[in-house]
């Protein structure tokens, strides 16, 4: 492009020289001025061309860099978009799973609540039946109450045993016979017989060494009577001795010691259904 511009300028100058055979000094000076102007314009044009070529190179370089940046951004956008879609799908799956788990837990909770409701209802009904069956023995130291979802039938030792004995007397047998009638009508009830004593030292009771022995042997006497005589299922029965270590009253008074010497028959509904629900 530079060469074309130069040739064009020379052509114009040569034409101007050959257009007249004889030139006056004035015209000659004018032609020289024109020539100088042409060279000046030519040099300025060359500078502009060089500047434009540099600008073109810079623009091409910038365009290349912008293209690379654009491709890089497109690649990053594709990765981000892919990750977003993956997270979105995973989140939807997790939400669906959590919703399903929550619904299942709510269902199990309702089932557990229903079992507990039935247990409480059955416990209250059992208490009422026992209170009616054993009404005649309440003045002799028999009580029926509910604690922690279980029915506690508490019989003071004087209702069942002579002093210091492990042999059930006739009045005690009558009370246990009435109790057995209700228990045999409630096969879903587990039965635990607990013997309790005061803290007075045991003396002159043969093989009975201490209050542990006395509480255990009185408990097993009740269990044997209920199972062997009244025919309550043995598999439902448990005999334990608590000794003097779960008192109801203060052992410092005769009244407190009397409360502590007792047999507690603890009746609890079988909770197999509940245990299966909470596994």
pLDDT tens digits for range 260-272: 999 999 999 876 5
Tell me, what's the pLDDT at 277? 47
In a domain, 191, yes or no: yes
Look at residue 138 and tell me if it is in a domain: yes
> Are the C-beta atoms of residues 243 and 215 closer than 8 Å to each other?
yes
Distant-in-sequence, close-in-space partners of 233: CB < 8 Å, separation ≥ 6: 187, 227
* Vertex 102: Cα angle to 96 and 104 (nearest 5): 105
Q: Is residue 107 situated within a structural domain?
A: no
Within this chain, do residues 264 and 160 fall inside the same structural domain, yes or no? yes
Residue that the structure tokens 């497109």 belong to: 74
pTM value surpassing 0.75: no
Q: Is residue 80 part of a domain?
A: no
Domain presence at residue 85: no
- Alpha-carbon gap, residue 182 to 91, rounded angstroms: 57
pLDDT over threshold 70, residue 11: no
- Same domain, residue pair 43 and 164: no
- The parent domain of residue 254 ranges over 134-278
Banded model confidence at residue 244, pLDDT cuts 50, 70, 90: very high
Instruction: State how beta strands 237-243 and 189-196 pair.
Output: parallel
Q: Is residue 46 in some structural domain?
A: yes
Locate all alpha helices (DSSP H) within the chain, ordered by sequence: 2-18, 25-133, 157-160, 170-184, 211-224, 254-260, 272-278
Number of domains in the chain: 2
> Measured between alpha carbons, how far apart are the two ends of the chain, in Å?
92
């Amino acid at each position: 492009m530079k060469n074309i511009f130069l040739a064009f300028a020379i052509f114009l100058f040569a034409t101007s020289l050959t257009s007249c055979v004889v030139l006056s000094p004035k015209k000659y000076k004018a032609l020289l001025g024109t020539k100088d102007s042409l060279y000046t314009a030519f040099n300025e044009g060359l500078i502009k061309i060089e500047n434009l070529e540099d600008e073109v190179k810079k623009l091409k370089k910038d365009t290349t860099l912008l293209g690379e940046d654009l491709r890089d951004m497109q690649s990053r956008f594709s990765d981000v978009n892919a990750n977003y879609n993956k997270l979105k799908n995973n989140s939807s799956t997790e939400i669906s799973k959590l919703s399903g788990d929550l619904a299942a837990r709510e269902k199990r909770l309702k089932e557990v609540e229903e079992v507990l409701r039935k247990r409480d209802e059955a416990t209250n009904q059992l208490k009422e039946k026992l209170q009616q069956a054993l009404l005649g023995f309440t003045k002799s130291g028999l009580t029926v109450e509910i604690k922690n979802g279980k029915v506690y039938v508490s019989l003071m030792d004087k209702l069942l045993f002579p002093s210091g004995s492990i042999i059930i007397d006739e009045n005690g047998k009558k009370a246990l016979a009435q109790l057995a009638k209700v228990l045999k009508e409630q096969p879903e009830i587990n039965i635990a017989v607990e013997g309790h004593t005061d803290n007075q030292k045991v003396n002159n009771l043969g093989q009975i060494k201490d209050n542990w022995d006395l509480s255990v042997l009185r408990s097993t006497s009740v269990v044997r009577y209920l199972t062997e005589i009244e025919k309550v299922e043995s598999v439902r029965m448990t005999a334990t001795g608590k000794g003097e270590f779960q008192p109801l009253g203060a052992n410092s008074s005769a009244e407190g010691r009397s409360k502590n010497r007792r047999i507690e028959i603890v009746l609890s509904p079988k909770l197999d259904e509940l245990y299966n629900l909470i596994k």
